[in-house]
Every structure is written in structure tokens, then in C-alpha cells.
Structure 1
Amino acid sequence: MQKTILLIEDNEDIRENTAELLDLEGYHVITADNGLEGIRQAQANLPDLIICDVLMREADGYTVFRTLLEDSSTRDIPFIFVTAKSETADRAIARAIGTCEYLIKPFDEKELFDCIRGLLSGPESLR
């Protein structure tokens, strides 16, 4: 069964390129260009996994993650932050909110797909 990934990214080039990579890998991709739209898409479509930028207009990635964790229909969706922010403190903020992965831009395809496969294989992969 084809897995659905929600990609929340405000940079159009990155969003389009990443969506194309995911599509070519066989995933069904839904996109959102800001955090509020991402929250709406997540609640409406209940994707199998969410990839979300941290720094965005409308609502940042941390707000998106917190909001989805508070909703019983979206709290268990695996979540990957993608960001150019590589500070350890930023990663700590994300992990303090909940269980997630954190990829630093620019990331390569293998790193992205390894992370996705790990999360989609189940919670035991996060331990």
C-alpha cells in the first residue's frame, strides 16, 4: 500500500524538489507552503509521515508539531524536522516537544529515505 507523506516547506524550490524525490520513490505526497496549512492538511488527510521545515511563516515547525501532538487523530504520525539550523539547542527543543527526527539541510536523498523508512517501520526503530 502506498504511504502518504505530508511535506510542509515554505521554500518553493525545496518543496517541489523534495516532493518530486518522494514521488519518484513511490510515496503519495501532499504539500503545504506554511505551518497553518500544514496543520490543516495533516488533520484532513492523516498522512503516514510528516516532513516539516522549522522556520516558516504563519506557524513555525515547533508550533505545527505541538499542535499535532495535542490532537488525538494526529499525535502518532511520525514527524521529521528539516532545517538549516544545526545547533544542538534547536534539536533539543524539537526532541523536548516529542519523539521526532531532525535532518539538517542540505540533506542527501539516502539520509532522507533512510530516516523515512526507519520511521515508517514502526516505533521500535526510534529506540
Structure 2
Amino acid sequence: MKETPQTDSKKLLLVDDDPNLILLVKDYLEFRGYEVLAAENGREALELLEQHTPDMIICDVMMPEMDGYAFIERVREKPQTSWIPFLFLSAKGQSQDRVKGLSKGADVYMVKPFEPEELVAQVESSLQQAKRLMTRSQGTETESTLHVPEGVELTPTELKVVQLVAQGMKNQNIAVQLNVSQRTIESHVSNMLTKTQLKNRTELARWAIESRKA
């Protein structure tokens, strides 16, 4: 008999081309109270994202049609999905593989084979971190309403920057991750504040997080 789901049951998207692994991981996570959607490759996962908004994505790296690297790039470039915590689950365990996965935008990189309890711990940790970031971004302004002009369009680079701002990163750290100067990041933030008519980075982060629900 499966464990009773939590009242605020979280939805996870599991992407892997190994049907046996999908069955095992899906069953284990559902036993722990999570709702799990499954896809066999990145392209199928993107189709699911058109209909569902998971609280976290767990994804293999090497898959047919669209691998994990191509998939996470598509996830991170869209404001509606850029905020979603992302965990790579891969048999590729060399240091350069981990670095590449994290540099592509993954929050966690785990190597197969893995202990199910460790996977659950990583999932729970990532979800708690996302919750803390949302609370932080709202700050003391939770009762106020953000007024942003309709039709605001951000460039692909601005979308990446605002995603990292929403994760609580400082301009200096964002510059290192995107391999540009801090002045360039400050310029992007300034441009976005002008476009959105928001007052500061905190409001910008809050707007980025709230926009994902639209």
C-alpha cells in the first residue's frame, strides 16, 4: 500500500529513456507522496510541459531525439519554466560531466547507480530551497501589487539573468556563471527595471517568480 500523499503534494517530471528506471523511480517517489509524470526523452518532456507545470524536473543526460543538455536549455530559456528546480540523473560521472551539467543550468547532478533515499533527500532539499527563495523574493512586499506594463519582452540573455536573480544570486556571481563582466549584468538588470518599471532587484525577482504562474 502506498504512503498517503502530503496535503501539498508536489508534482515531479521524470525524464529517462530506460523504462525500468522510470518504473522504479516513479514507484519510489509516488510511495513518498509525490505525483510523478514521466517522459522518455526531452522532446516528449517538452510536450508535457505545455500541459503541466511540475515543481521539479529529474532528467537523464543521454537520451534519443533530444538529450538532457538540449532539454534543459529549452527549459531555462522560457520564463514559464526557467524557475523549475532541475536534477540531472546520469551514468556519466566524471568531473567534467558534472561541471557541464551544472553549467547548463542544473541545480543538482547525481550519478547512477544511486541510493533511492539520497534521491528523495535531494528532491526535498531542492523543493525547500525553491520555497525559501520564493519567500525571500516576496520579502516585506507580499501585500503590495506589482504593476508591470503589458507586453514586456525580455531578450534571451535578460531571461537568463532574471532567472538567476530570482534564485537569489548576486550580479557578481551571475557574471561568473554567464562568463561576462559584472558591468554587463548590471546593465541588463538596469534595462529590465526600465522595461518593467519596477524599483529594485527584489521586485524584479518577485515578478519573475510570479510570472511563471501566468
TM-score range, shorter chain: over 0.9
Q: Among 2, 10, 19, which residue is 2:17 paired with? A: 10
* Structure with more strand by fraction: 1
1:33-112 aligned within 5 A: 33-112=40-119
Aligned equivalent of 2:189: none
Aligned equivalent of 2:33: 26
**TM-score normalised by length of structure 1:** 0.94
Q: Give the ranges of 4+ consecutive aligned residues of structure 1 lying more than 6 Å apart after TM superposition.
A: none
> Rg bigger for which structure?
2
CA deviations over 1:54-74 (Å, ceiling 9, x no partner): 000011001111100001100
Give the Å deviation of 1:98.
Answer: 1.7
**Contact persistence 1:8–1:53 (CA under 8 A):** yes
How many residue pairs were aligned? 127
Aligned equivalent of 1:119: 126
SS in structure 1 of the partner of residue 73 of structure 2: helix
**Distance in 2 (alpha carbons) for counterparts of 1:21 and 1:74:** 25
- Name structure 2 gaps, 5 residues minimum: 1-7, 134-166, 170-214
**TM-score normalised by length of structure 2:** 0.57
RCO greater where, 1 or 2, for CA within 8 Å and sep 6 or more? Answer: 1
**Contact persistence 2:15–2:41 (CA under 8 A):** yes
